[in-house]
Amino acid sequence: MRYQVIGRSGVNASRVALGVMRMDTKTAPEAARIVRTVVDRGVTFFDTADCYGAGESSRRFARALQDAGIDRDDIVVQTKFGIYRDPTSNAITRYDFSKSHLLAALDDELRNLDTDHVDFVLLHRPDTLVDLDELAETFDVLESSGKVLHFGVSNVNPVQVSMLQSALSQRLEVNQLQFGLGHTGMIRQEFHVNMDDPASVDHDGGLISYSRLQHMTIQAWSPFQVGFFEGVFLDNPEYARLNEVLERVAQRCHVTKSAIAVAWILRHPANMQVLLGSMTPSRLADMIAGADVELSAQEWYDLYTAAGNDLP
């Protein structure tokens, strides 16, 4: 396992992290085995959110740490808040960055996680109704109380990051974004600068370059997903060429295709962190192996073009 400093926080953590969104579907012994599997392979960073399984994913994770005999102080725990789900329908009805909601949500999460603090907390989705002064007060309370050590955002563009940062005394260290060989828009637009084809459309505001300039860590979620709902590209016949190249590189490196897909993200000099969401220990072991793979520049570009992207 390789490690990196997250943003400018000074926190040194594994370049591959485990997201526990689906842990609410696992029994206690299964959850403990998952956590033990990744920790034994060097993973020190875990991501959750207050809305995952209505808090049950965080509760199962906390129990898994105890059952697996893992000391809370030996790992980095991150959660996200700011999404409001209706308790009756469980539907998302608003994003809510109000002081009352965020403080209550964080306290609930600390109880779920059975801890007195989280190392990072991220604003989960942008709330266009955010009161910046109120948000600044909220972050000050969370920091001064010791309940949150570091802060970040998720699914936010550069202008939104700059707007939020302008009001805060705390640095935003992280931006959690979908990225991988099946979701390459942040890269594709960089190659199609000054062109008028569909690939030149900037959906993200230069997120990768901005994050590098600000020394923010991009956390890549759903690294094997195509788009948002189209499934994964691994062993998908619609992505035969990509799987051929993944297999070729995997054979050279003596790992699986999933490991190469992880290594592709980690090869980028933006120094990203990969969030794995699998709840299958054997698959997690295969994926984590990608942290120790070094791809050549040509292999990186071969995989990029095999995924259906062009080089203009």
- Where do the structural domains in the chain lie, given as residue ranges? 3-306
- Return the top range by mean pLDDT from 86-95, 195-204, 225-234, 254-263: 254-263
pLDDT (mean) for 148-161:
97
Q: What is the mean pLDDT of residues 242-263?
A: 98
Q: Is residue 305 very low, low, confident or very high in pLDDT (cuts 50, 70, 90)? A: very high
CB 1 within 8 A of CB 43: yes
At the fourth CATH level, the homologous superfamily of domain 3-306 is NADP-dependent oxidoreductase domain (3.20.20.100)
Report the pLDDT averaged over residues 200-210.
92
pLDDT confidence bin for 98, thresholds 50/70/90: very high
The confidence score (pLDDT) of residue 123 equals 98
Residue 155 phi/psi, 5-degree rounding, is 60, 45
Place of tokens 């396992």: 1
Q: Is 220 exposed, middle or buried (0-12, 13-18, 19+ CB in 10 A)?
A: buried
C-alpha radius of gyration, the chain, whole number: 19
Give the separation between CA 114 and CA 208, rounded to whole angstroms: 35
Q: Flag the least confident range among 109-118, 222-231, 237-246.
A: 222-231
Interaxial angle between packed helices 281-288 and 28-40, expressed in degrees from 0 to 180 and rounded to the nearest 10:
20
Global confidence as pTM: 0.95
Are 134 and 188 in contact by the 8 Å Cβ rule? The answer is: no
What distance in Å separates the CA atoms of residue 168 and residue 133, rounded to the nearest whole number?
8
